[in-house]
Chains A and B, each alone.
Chain A
Amino acid sequence: MDATTVIAVISCAIVLAAWLVLPSKATTVKPVVVSEERKPVSISA
């Protein structure tokens, strides 16, 4: 196994291992903010 392969395997292992410990859902729920810009706009001809 060459050095590139070793680093690639370690990279994949880091990502996979992270998924085991990361939260399964958001710790806080953000309120949905509806900005003024989301209101329908009137278009003058």
Chain B
Amino acid sequence: MKIDSGDTAWVLASAALVMLMTPALGFFYGGLVRRKNVLSTIMHSFFILCLISVQWVLWGYSLAFGPDKFHLIGGLEWVGLNNVGLTPNPDYAATIPHQAYMVFQMMFAVITPALISGAFAERQRFKAFVLFSLLWATFVYDPIAHWVWGAGGWLHQLGALDFAGGTVVHISSGVSALVAALVLGRRLGFGKEKSEPHDATMTVLGASLLWFGWFGFNAGSAVTAGTLATSAFVVTNTATAMAALTWMTVSWYHKRQPSVLGAAAGAVAGLVAITPASGYVNVMGAIVIGFGAGVVCYLAIQLRERIHVDDALDVWAVHGVGGTWGALATGLFATVAINSSAANGLFYGNPKQVLIQLAAIGAAWGWAAVGTFLILKFVNIFVPLRVQEEEELLGLDISQHGEPAYAL
């Protein structure tokens, strides 16, 4: 097999773009918490970048993409990157070195558990977070990645469409975030005192960097530098912009002011929703997906507030609900005019695709919810999930890391 230098360059550059998203997420989340917790919140993302980078080469990639076992999980043949060399693997990407594909996928595995950290911000014990993240990546992320993207995975064989991770990344992290928020319980003072974002500028900067990195996430998922990558790039930008406009408009109507943080959150919701669809829909589909994301994710936050769930940074509303909408919308708006190797959606004469997408959505919700609950209960046997009350009041920067964020 001949290696294509253009494809290889694009996938490696995309891996670097996706890598940037995880620290960007740290800044996005960091601005939204109180100043006594900003460093610990950023640390969640930075630490996971390190942790999963090692987990992935040791066993994560093998479980997710290794030789199929019962259509459920990859085997251990590729542990330690054994048999994952520099020649292409035609099952995944026929024109780039296998390790280029591996490192690109690594960055997806990195950011997914980092997304969950927004749900338990300002109250989770760091040691419990470390154990949870490692177990979650192994027992929740890796199997779902195999189902959807692995050669032989059952959802892959069923025909589920998930171009860049609507089910694998966003539903899995968003649903896990909801479960984590319920298991850990609310922060002290939740609902009684307002927890204002300490630095909105940091959040907008983080959202902007996420947007930038997401071009690698979606357009890079074409694993070729050609027409499909270009289309994915264009629809990603379009849906994101439309979702930001829509969210800002809905919040303007609801709160009587056009919110800056709302525009940033809307952009992220749009990025999430277009992710599974980015290799299958045209630009008109992207506009509808962005519009829907701006509406449904905003409404999900209102619902979350009404039922008093302390998902601190609204991971479920943005990633769980946004990912679900995106996965469903893929079944509505996918067209073979964009990707001839995929399938049409409902609006192009194939209603069956909606049912397949619903199966993938249900499987991801179920596995993530049950897996996360069991892992949290298991970790709690060895390490308390929450910090003590006085540690929470003092702030996690000092109580967990012994460092303040700002020496002002």
**A and B associate in one complex:** yes
Chain A residues engaging chain B, CB cutoff 8 angstroms: 2-5, 7-8, 11-12, 14-15, 18-19, 22-23, 26-28, 33, 35, 37-38, 40-41, 43
- Total residues of chain B contacting the partner, CB 8 A: 27
- The smallest C-beta distance from A7 to any residue of chain B, in angstroms, reads 5
Q: Is the pair A26, B257 in contact by a Cβ cutoff of 8 Å?
A: yes
- 19 additional contacts (CB under 8 A) given A5-B284, A22-B252: A2-B347, A4-B284, A4-B285, A8-B291, A14-B291, A15-B249, A15-B291, A18-B249, A18-B253, A22-B256, A23-B257, A27-B256, A35-B196, A37-B35, A37-B36, A37-B198, A38-B35, A40-B408, A43-B407
Chain B residues engaging chain A, CB cutoff 8 angstroms: 34-36, 194, 196, 198, 242, 245-246, 249, 252-253, 256-258, 282, 284-285, 287-288, 291, 333, 347, 404, 406-408
Residues from chain B with a CB closer than 8 A to the CB of A33 are: 194, 196
Q: Is the pair A26, B256 in contact by a Cβ cutoff of 8 Å?
A: yes
Inter-chain CA distance A17–B404, complex, in Å, is: 47
Residues from chain B with a CB closer than 8 A to the CB of A15 are: 242, 245-246, 249, 291
Residues from chain B with a CB closer than 8 A to the CB of A2 are: 284, 347
- The smallest C-beta distance from B349 to any residue of chain A, in angstroms, reads 11
Q: Is the pair B256, A8 in contact by a Cβ cutoff of 8 Å?
A: no
- The smallest C-beta distance from A31 to any residue of chain B, in angstroms, reads 13
Residues from chain A with a CB closer than 8 A to the CB of B408 are: 40-41
Residues from chain A with a CB closer than 8 A to the CB of B347 are: 2-4
